[in-house]
Amino acid sequence: MDVFWSWPPVTRTLVAGSLITSVLAYSGLVPYYPLPFIPSKVLAVPPQLWRLVTSFLLTGQGLGIIFDPYFLYMYGSQLELGSPRFTGHGDFFTYIIFNGLVIILKRFLEPGKIAPALRTHHHSHNSKAGYILGGALFLSPLIMAIMYTFAQDNPERSVTFFVINVPAKYLPYLMLLVTFVMAGPAPTMHQGAGILSSHLYDFLTRIWPTFGGGRNVIFTPRFVKEWFGGGGVRPEAQKRGYGMAQAPAGEARSTGTSWSNQRGPGRRLGGE
């Protein structure tokens, strides 16, 4: 437990929440069907607002229950502790919320694309797969968003994709390629929403203020800073790059994609 509590708080919460929620849902200990994102249910009276959260906590089925939380830990902890973007208390939490809102908004704008399986009422294994393939679960694009930002921060860092060493900047696109080959275009587009959201975050917080003369409109609210320990820069941060950052964490050991019905069955093999 000491190791778990030593993880950064946002990553720790996401990992624990996704693992616990998925184990309970896929084992049948709690009902599965109130958890995925369905616009008509969120907008119902009364609204089922919990779906806005639980849809980010359900992993892929099978080995996705193990590997999706692992991906969250691998890349989320490195960003939360070592990225020059997240130097203030609560900055990474704001980043997660922003990406989540963009992913949800994109889904709201395309409700007609939800797979027909989402409209069924029989509780079968196939209908669960329909929720995943239909884009009602958002953990996949959220992981992609985190991975894309990691690649932006470490473009030339060598990572292992299957047995090939590649610069980290190619990692998100290789994962999308595997998803396309193994699962088809619809899950690939859904997963790619994470690239859209994280690139929009980068544009609004770095590109536009730095090169366009604009103002950074995304900021961490004061109550969030106080929630995470107060204002200002985290004391362990040090100057680096285009801002402040912690001393970098260890090198990423491996990359790949998870086992689930939404993404291809790639495996994280090898090391740096």
> 233 forms bridges with which residues in the sheet?
88
Band of pLDDT at residue 232, cut at 50, 70 and 90: low
- What is the model's pTM? 0.81
Write the DSSP string, 82-101.
Answer: H-TT--BTTHHHHHHHHHHH
Residues 6+ apart with CB under 8 A from 73: 7, 11, 15
Lowest mean pLDDT, pick from 126-140, 145-159, 251-265: 251-265
List domains and CATH numbers for the chain: 1-228 (1.20.1540.10)
For 40-57, the pLDDT digits (tens) are: 899 999 999 999 999 999
Q: How many CB atoms lie within 10 A of CB 1?
A: 5
Query: pLDDT at residue 267 above 90?
Result: no
